[in-house]
Structure formats: C-alpha cells, structure tokens
Amino acid sequence: MGRTFNTAGVCIPEQNYMVDISARVDMIIADYIDEGKYFTVNRARQYGKSTMLYLMEQKLRERYLVVRLSFEAADEMFVSLYTMAVGLLRKINRVLKKQDIEPSLLDDWNQPVSEQFPFDDLSERITELCSHCDKEIVLMIDEVDKSSDNQVFLSFLGLLRNKYLEQRQKNDRTFWSVILAGIYDIKNLNLKLHPGEEPKYNSPWNIAVDFVVDMNFSSGDIATMLQEYEADHHTGMDIAYIGRLIYEYTSGYPYLVSRICQLADERLAGTEDFPDKRSVWTQRGIVAAEQMLRKQRNTLFDDMIKKLVDFPKLKRMIQDILFCGAAFLFEEDNYLISLGLTFGFVKENNGMVAVGNRIFETKLYDLFLSEMAIEDTLGQTAPIEKNQYIVDGNLQMKLVMEKFYQHFTEIYGDSDQTFVEKQGRKIFLLYLKLIINGTGNYYIEAQTRDSKRTDIIVDYRGRQFIIELKIWRGSEYNQRGEKQLFAYLDHYGAETGYLLSFNFNKNKMVGIQEISFDGKRIVEVVV
C-alpha cells in the first residue's frame, strides 16, 4: 500500500505524505534542546504538535535518551500525589524498557513508592536515573493540558521546576530538557480556562522559555508535500500554484492543509466531476475540496462551535470583526484575544486582530448566518425564489441584486440607521448564501473589510463575481468607491462588478443604476 495523506494522529514519513519540516526540527533541537531549555509547545487543536514531537524524538535518539509520554486518557493519574508518582514511574518504565538501559537502573526505578512522601520518592528516582544514565535525558509530554486544571499536576510542574533550578546550581541532576505540548500555554495560564471563570496567571512553570517557532506551513512548505505526491502519481499539477492556492484558504493551518489534499485525492478523484487525479489537482478541484471540507463534521469544527458557545464574548468579538468591520488592536495580553489565539480562531495581521484563515472565516460566516436565518424574514424569501436566479446553470447576479433591493426596501426600508449599519451586510450575505448554497462559494476579502466597506468574492461554477458592500458617506466617497471597484475588476479579470450601498441620507436617491468605464461596468444598488 502506498503513502496517503493523514489527518488522524501522528504522521509517519514512511506512510504519509508530509510537509518537510526537517529544518524546523533541527532548529528546535539546536536552539532549545541542545541548550538545555524547558519550554511549552502550545498551539491550537490539530496543529501538528504530536507529529513534531515524534520527528524530534527520532532525531534526538542519536544523542539523547528520549522519554516521550502522553497524558491523553490518563485521568486516573491525577487523583492524588501518590497515584501521580506511581503513574509516572509506570509510564516512564515502559519507555525505558524499550531502550538500552542497565537492568540495575530499571530495578531501582521500579522500587515501591512511599505513600507518605510519593513526590520525594519520585524526585530521588529522577536524580538517580539522570545521574547514572550514559546519555542526557529529554522528557516530552504530549496532551499536557488534559489535566492542567488539576492541583496534582501543578505540583508535578513545581517538582520539575525545583529540580531544574537545583541542577543549575549543581545541587541536583534531572532531565536535561523538558518539552510540554498542548493547546493551553501553562507557562502563562496554568489552569485550563472554564466558561465564567477569571483567567489565572500564577504558573509554577515560569522557568520555561518562550517557544517562538512558527508552526504554520508556508506555500513553499506545502509544495514539498505536493512534490512527494507528484513523484508517485504524475498528475502534471502546477505544484507552486496549487501550494499557493491551498495556503490562501488555510493560512498554513496543518490540519486544513492535509485535509484539503486528502479530500481531493481520496474523495473527489474518480468522481463524475473529476474523473482522474489529473483533473482534481487544479483550481476547480481544490475549490471543491475546500467546499467539501467546510460541509463536513469534524472534531476541529465541533470544537470551534463548542468554544463559541462557552465563550460568548469571544463570539461577539468575532461577529463584530466579520459583519461590522470592527478593528481591534492586537494585544496578546488581552484575555479575549489571547483566548482566540489559543484556539486558532484569530491571528495578528498588521497590528490588528484578524480571523485565523479563510476556511475558518467562511465557516464562521456560515454558522452565524444559519443562526440568523431562523428569524430573518428576508432570508426566508431567497430559497423560495432560488430557481429564477439560476439559468442554464449560471448565476444571474444582476437579478440577485435587483431582487435584494426590492425585498430589502419592502421589509427594512423604514429601519433606523443603527440597525442597518449593524445588520445590513449580514442580511445581504444571508440572502446571497441561501441562493448559492450547495453549488457556489463566497469569501470576504479581508484586506478591504472595515466599518465602511466589505468586498465579497463569489465563485459559482468556475465564474467569479465581485461585490462591494459599503456605507454611503457622501457622493465624493462613493465615487472613490466606484474607482476602487473598477481597479478590483482589473485585478480579477472581471468585466462586471456589483456595488451595494446603504444610504442613510434623508433625501437619498435609492434605486439601481449602471456605470461604465474603460470597457467595464458596475451595477450599483442603493438602499
């Protein structure tokens, strides 16, 4: 059986197509582990943490004795100090038995643990092992935040911290380097965050250095995985272009990158639309894979929905960014921003808070709009009239704009300015989504989204439509917006653009008009 794309568990180079992160692994070893540093690898769910630890372990075995553990499904260990000590001794023993360790060291390691002073016993075992082993020992613990809200675990961190400090003063021997991997950064937030609780910052893990290695994949990184695949399958794909396209959707989020590739290879290739592998590794194939990904249930999206329910303030912040163009300065010490960063929902972009990637952004739009659809009157009219908007499989975008103008004026024409400013763009997106849903796709151009302007790119059966939504700020501002949209049409190679303006002037001129310039035209709707 040949290699496959993998999105479940650790990726194995001999079995899976993988991004080449060997240079990153070498850098971590040189800058952190060889220097004897303790650090935490905290990244969002399914960010490649376990795979990175596995690859590091394989490389480190050349010079170190590596003890790699996981706290996944280890809840019984955290009942008391005694069970924690016994559980760690058992776990580490299983690792040591697979390596070339002197039998006498294993015998000493497995002696019964004192019930009165279990952590003192554990400390002594660590000292003896590290003192008599012929290699320095590196300890790795994955899924470390599974019990980071447990006082017993914090006591274990305190033990490691104390031994680290004593070793630096040459009063003890302990692990040369310790790597803890999980979602939460226990260096700063030692207790797992629960809804309604205040964040806590008094971690005993303040000996850890900051881990600043970027674990996102670049388009070039993605290309290394595609090159491996292409060497086996000879599809003729444009590797550099497909790598850039996948990056545009994912911003290099490891799970999303691999999942798009996996769906293209395993689910789309061989279908009626993509009869072979050559046809699927194209722009149309990657777009189809991205759409399929967003429609599927997976643990990443399930966790996203749960976190938004648990943290309504975080949800409101993201909604304000998406629908209102709200601008928030990126300050990692801000509780909500730190929370969004921890979950991978947001990132820093030119000093401001932005949604983490285009897939998350569109998924969040879909989620928020589906919640709105239940109550919105205008949104409920779109699916009823859907058939008239599609002629011979082609989306009639001009008709969509005309009908939106008609329905919006009838239903919301007398609404106040505050309501329309907050809800207008959301109402249009809902209307649009219900028409193109299942066949078309849309995304928001983040670089142009602010409180006054939003640019929407619609893909429908290989054809792109450019729509600008904006708040009317006077005729001069409106003319500037028209020029920007004409320039945008040039960028996308489109001949027609669409401009939806929300105008709050008392003497406003509502309606629909067409503006032509240099062979291109804009259909402008003013409501």
Which one of 296, 320, 350 terminates a domain? 296
- Whether residue 415 is contained in a domain is answered as yes
The residue among 346 and 148 whose pLDDT is bigger is 346
Q: For the residues of 98-141, what is the DSSP string, one character each?
A: TS---HHHHHHHTSPPPSSSHHHHHHHHHHHHHHH-SS-EEEEE
Same domain? 142 vs 272 = no
Same domain? 43 vs 178 = yes
Q: What percent of the chain has pLDDT over 70?
A: 89
* 192/343 Cα distance (integer angstroms): 12
**306 pLDDT higher than 60:** yes
- Whether residue 239 is contained in a domain is answered as yes
Q: What is the CATH number of the domain that holds 43?
A: 3.40.50.300
- Whether residue 432 is contained in a domain is answered as yes
Same domain? 126 vs 31 = yes
- Residues 285-293: what's their mean pLDDT? 94
- Whether residue 316 is contained in a domain is answered as no
Q: How far apart are the first and last CA of the chain?
A: 60
- Sign of the C-alpha dihedral computed for residues 69, 83, 38 and 182 taken in this order: positive
Same domain? 28 vs 164 = yes
Same domain? 277 vs 154 = no
Residue 36 identity (one-letter amino acid): G
* Full domain range(s) for residue 149: 22-182
- Sign of the C-alpha dihedral computed for residues 227, 232, 238 and 241 taken in this order: negative
CA distances from 183 to 45, 51, 147, 190, 358 (A): 6, 14, 12, 12, 21
| pLDDT for 91 | 96
Same domain? 152 vs 273 = no
* 233/318 Cα distance (integer angstroms): 41
Same domain? 128 vs 83 = yes
- Whether residue 269 is contained in a domain is answered as yes
Q: What is the pLDDT of residues 228-275, one digit of tens each?
A: 999 999 999 999 999 999 999 999 999 999 999 999 999 999 999 999
| pLDDT for 206 | 85
Q: What is the pLDDT of residues 407-422, one digit of tens each?
A: 888 888 777 777 777 7
Q: Taking every pair of C-alpha atoms in the chain, what is the biggest distance, in angstroms?
A: 92
Same domain? 225 vs 177 = no
Confidence of residue 176 (pLDDT cuts 50, 70, 90): very high
**424 pLDDT higher than 90:** no
Q: What is the pLDDT of residues 30-80, one digit of tens each?
A: 999 999 999 999 999 999 999 999 999 999 998 999 999 999 888 889 899
Same domain? 252 vs 176 = no
Which one of 237, 268, 296 terminates a domain? 296
- Whether residue 463 is contained in a domain is answered as yes
How far out from the chain centre does Cα 340 lie?
A: 10
Which one of 155, 182, 209 terminates a domain? 182
Worst-scoring range by mean pLDDT, 22-26, 152-156, 178-182? 152-156
Same domain? 236 vs 384 = no
Q: Can you tell me whether residue 255 is helix, strand or coil?
A: helix
The residue among 252 and 454 whose pLDDT is bigger is 252
| pLDDT for 203 | 65
* 123/367 Cα distance (integer angstroms): 50
- Whether residue 145 is contained in a domain is answered as yes
- Residues 349-372: what's their mean pLDDT? 91
Same domain? 382 vs 518 = yes
Structure tokens at 249: 């959707």
- Residues 471-488: what's their mean pLDDT? 66
**165 pLDDT higher than 80:** yes
The residue among 501 and 168 whose pLDDT is bigger is 168
Angle in degrees, 0-180, between the axes of helices 358-373 and 299-310, rounded to the nearest 10: 60
| pLDDT for 508 | 62
| pLDDT for 271 | 97
Structure tokens at 401: 């704009």
| pLDDT for 193 | 44
As beta bridge partners, residue 328 has none
Same domain? 412 vs 488 = yes
The residue among 335 and 55 whose pLDDT is bigger is 55
* Domains identified in the chain, total number: 3
- Whether residue 85 is contained in a domain is answered as yes
- Residues 112-138: what's their mean pLDDT? 96
